[in-house]
Amino acid sequence: MSNTFPCKIVTPSQEAFCGEATYVSFPAWDGQYGMQKGLAPLLSTLAPGSLRIDSTDGESRRYLIEGGVAHVDSEGLTLVTEGAIPAEQLQLEEAEAELAEANARVTSEDKDREKIERDQRIAMAKVALAKSVAVTGHAV
């Protein structure tokens, strides 16, 4: 019997990932969730952060996701997110610049506090994931 389950990452513009997974770790509104085959049905709000998908070949793929919804049912795991960027495509300098810009907006006259904080969380997650790639040469 296989220990895998179907996993999909869907964005408004594309299907970022579709395949079998042995384990998936994703950021939810109330903490990091881990999923293996047999998880009970679940519907959860995703938080911006790092997503890890382990596959049957022993490889792990990492993505920066920008929030959304995670849905687990008998068909597997589906993550519907505003954005999913493979970790290998992140550039540390760009991520740090985005974080600096998001932090600068905190003291600006911009009244949309929720959007500013969301942008900060995405930028912080992007910097952390980009640093991981820069240090190791791959997403760990």
- Dihedral of CA atoms 111, 125, 69, 30 in degrees, nearest 10, equals -90
Would you tell me the crossing angle of helices 113-136 and 92-106 to the nearest 10 degrees?
160
pLDDT given for residue 110 in this prediction = 59
pLDDT tens digit sequence for 83-126: 999 999 988 889 888 888 888 877 766 567 788 888 888 898 99
pLDDT tens digit sequence for 19-32: 999 999 999 999 99
